[in-house]
Chains A and B, each alone.
Chain A
Amino acid sequence: MSNQPEAKSQLNAALMRKALNHLDSLMTQSVSLIVGGGGAMLLAYDFPLATSDIDAVPRGIDLAVLDIHIKAVARDLNIPSDWLNPYFSTFAHTLPSDYGDRLINVFRGKHLEAWALGMEDLLIMKCFAHRQKDIGHAKALIKKGANIKFVESHIESLQKKRIPGSQDALDFLDELRG
């Protein structure tokens, strides 16, 4: 099993949709993807940004089984072999349990559906990541209409439950308000 670095290429919305279409053609069962990060920003909210992968967690299929198809798509379209990966799920403990109510459909194929996280949920994750490079996108989400009060109230509830990183997330949100 190789873990060598590959030549990066940026995925724009068109290439993402092409890749998802191709992935759909390889599916034989119903699979849905929950999309976060840059992929969600591009596909659901038309933010002009560059990203090299789609952060997506699958439902209805094992990660390792999906990965085989992801590699096939990568070979056929000459895009990075990890163009779709589930690693953003390691921060999903910060999301409200009703995130499903705010999902936005960004792709519907024969077997595959992709649903992007809502603006508030994306903002919550950005607050917990609290990276300087996310400030621009976080502010853009707020400008687009993300409900700050909801985000703040949710992070405060996580702080009461002692979810690690909550105070940093609140501080980041405070910074966004400027």
Chain B
Amino acid sequence: MKGLTSIPSEKNLFTAYESLQNHAPSMNQLALWTQWVRFDPRLGEIFCKYLNQHWKEISPLDFNKELHLQPWPQAIGPIIEHTQLLLNRRERCFFSSWKRLVTANFSRNSTPELYFIGLRKFAGKAMREDAVLSHQAYSRWGYLGREVLVNKWKQVSNESEHGRTLLSADVRGQKLKELLKIRDSFTVNDYREFLGNAVSRRIAEMDLKKHPKIQSRGKTKGKIYFRVRNASLL
């Protein structure tokens, strides 16, 4: 399979971190480093933070042109999706337009593939879980992955503006089924934590409210959810 002709070394990655944090990288460097993110989620976090601060200064058409020269242009997709999580509501609508231009003519992978390379045991349990529990930020681009490329995501997601749902309804349903097998009762925060904070509070409450085998007791923050007695989990 074809891809980058050289795999980034530790030194290469440190240079990228430093440049994204302190200097103004060139368009060519930015495009190349979107590919390097596939080897290093930490670079992904730093890249998202950089985009959050500087996207308005980056010509989307020039960036699009540089990305097309890379073996995996659509690797920018998950990075952009995560950057969007950091923006406030007002910025998001402008960012959407920027995103459309940057990713113009990019095709989604036809066969879903793991986003990160070389970080998991080959054919191991974690790889399979990355595939089954993939976040939408990855699956929208034909990738599979669970890593949230936002530093201290739990803290960020608890701020109401940033609480976003990263998992599809299907995946959330599976995880809720697992939770019901191991816990008789729980709060909405327990459910959110079980999902790695990849669901907003509002959606989490809706999931629990509409589940046919879950009932609740109490009000607002103190509400406890529990499995309906004798309800099968099948």
List the interface of chain A (C-beta within 8 A of B): 1-4, 6, 34, 37, 53, 55, 57, 59, 63-65, 67-68, 71, 80-82, 85-97, 99, 128-130, 161-165, 168
In the complex, identify which listed stretch (B85-93, B121-129, B148-156, B194-202) lies at the interface while the others stay far away: B121-129
Instruction: Flag whether B218 is at the interface (Cβ < 8 A).
Output: no
Of residues A92, A97, A128, which shows the largest number of chain B Cβ atoms within 10 Å of its Cβ? Answer: A92
- Contact of A162 with B9 in the complex, beta carbons under 8 Å: no
- A89-B122, A92-B122 known; A162 vs B170 contact (CB < 8 Å): yes
List the interface of chain B (C-beta within 8 A of A): 1-10, 12, 32, 39, 69-71, 111-115, 117-118, 122-125, 127-128, 130-132, 134, 139, 144, 170, 174
- Contact of A95 with B123 in the complex, beta carbons under 8 Å: yes
- Contact of B3 with A161 in the complex, beta carbons under 8 Å: no
A128: B residues at CB distance < 8 A: 111
B6: A residues at CB distance < 8 A: 1-3, 67, 71, 81-82
Counted as pairs of residues, one from A and one from B, with CB atoms less than 8 Å apart, the total is: 108
A68: B residues at CB distance < 8 A: 9
B10: A residues at CB distance < 8 A: 64
Q: Which 5 A-B pairs have the closest CB atoms?
A: A90-B113, A95-B123, A87-B1, A93-B127, A164-B112
Q: How far is the CA of A24 from the CA of B136 in the complex (A)?
A: 42
- Contact of A161 with B132 in the complex, beta carbons under 8 Å: yes
Q: How far is the CA of A4 from the CA of B8 in the complex (A)?
A: 15
- Contact of A87 with B5 in the complex, beta carbons under 8 Å: no
Q: How far is the CA of A55 from the CA of B125 in the complex (A)?
A: 21
Q: How far is the CA of A129 from the CA of B111 in the complex (A)?
A: 6
Given contacts A81-B6, A163-B131, A168-B111, 10 further A-B contacts (CB under 8 A): A1-B8, A3-B6, A4-B5, A53-B1, A71-B6, A89-B118, A92-B123, A97-B123, A130-B111, A162-B132
Least Cβ–Cβ distance between B194 and chain A, in angstroms: 18
- A63-B7, A87-B1, A87-B3 known; A3 vs B70 contact (CB < 8 Å): yes
23 contacts between A and B (CB under 8 A): A1-B6, A1-B32, A4-B5, A6-B5, A34-B122, A37-B1, A57-B122, A59-B122, A67-B9, A82-B5, A85-B1, A85-B2, A90-B113, A90-B114, A90-B117, A91-B113, A93-B114, A93-B123, A96-B123, A162-B132, A163-B128, A164-B131, A164-B139
B5: A residues at CB distance < 8 A: 2-4, 6, 80-82
Q: How far is the CA of A89 from the CA of B116 in the complex (A)?
A: 10
